[in-house]
Chains A and B, each alone.
Chain A
Amino acid sequence: DAKTTQPTSMDCAEGRAANLPCNHSTISGNEYVYWYRQIHSQGPQYIIHGLKNNETNEMASLIITEDRKSSTLILPHATLRDTAVYYCIVRVGNTGNQFYFGTGTSLTVIP
């Protein structure tokens, strides 16, 4: 039931911005986009979420297109510790309690 598609893998140079894209072309008007990351065999870690406006927190920025069919997670200054699998998730369901993970992007930050 995944509603998102992401590139399988990406590389990013340390200190540069990492831009991770996600397509969610079937998203409904009241469904939020969430981003999580998972560092090898640990529990997924929440990064950021948004509905239609761009969002920023201490970890990342989330840019959502005006038609809401895609979004980009931006890590402004990637470090080696940002190497992880990044998942884009659309939260669905009448009560918003269904989080279905997409296939994720494996980000490798290169020294």
Chain B
Amino acid sequence: DTEVTQTPKHLVMGMTNKKSLKCEQHMGHRAMYWYKQKAKKPPELMFVYSYEKLSINESVPSRFSPECPNSSLLNLHLHALQPEDSALYLCASSRYSENTGELFFGEGSRLTVL
């Protein structure tokens, strides 16, 4: 199994809603990532989890709250988002502490904030 599965594929939410994006992998990877991608722009790194601990936060606003409940799951909790947060959110995983391992990406969750 070399897949990273993201749900939901599409999400529409209001600015006062609370929602979550989910990501799952069963490759035994111990590093998991969230990226944000706006239209016609490259993916921007948001968070990195290593061994279920947050290791990198790229100064992301607190309305985005990541969670890694176990080594296979990664969540992104969303609260009080703004319309400019509408984007494609990509999850990825990789082997940890190994400079030669590549990132495996999911197909993304497309978020629209009204």
Q: A-side interface residues toward B, CB under 8 Å? A: 1-2, 30-32, 34, 36, 41-46, 49, 87, 91, 93, 95-104
Contact = CB atoms under 8 A, between A and B. Distances in A.
B94 interface: yes
Interface residues of B, number: 29
A41 B38 CA distance: 10
Contacts, number: 65
A87 B43 CA distance: 10
Given A32-B99, A43-B106, A103-B42, 4 more contacts: A49-B100, A87-B42, A98-B48, A99-B33
Interface string B97-108: 111111111111
A32 B100 contact: yes
A75 B101 CA distance: 22
B111 interface: no
Interface of B: 4, 31, 33, 42-45, 48, 50, 55-56, 88, 90, 92, 94, 96-108, 110
A30 B99 contact: yes
30 contacts: A30-B99, A32-B99, A34-B102, A34-B103, A36-B103, A41-B88, A41-B108, A42-B107, A42-B108, A43-B90, A43-B92, A43-B106, A44-B90, A45-B105, A46-B102, A46-B103, A49-B100, A87-B42, A95-B50, A95-B55, A96-B98, A96-B101, A97-B31, A97-B96, A97-B97, A98-B45, A99-B45, A100-B45, A101-B42, A102-B42
A99 B88 CA distance: 17
A102 B45 CA distance: 11
A44 B88 CA distance: 12
B94 A97 contact: yes
Given A43-B108, A44-B43, A87-B42, A49 B102 contact: yes
A43 B50 CA distance: 21
Contact of A97 (B44, B55, B100, B104): B55
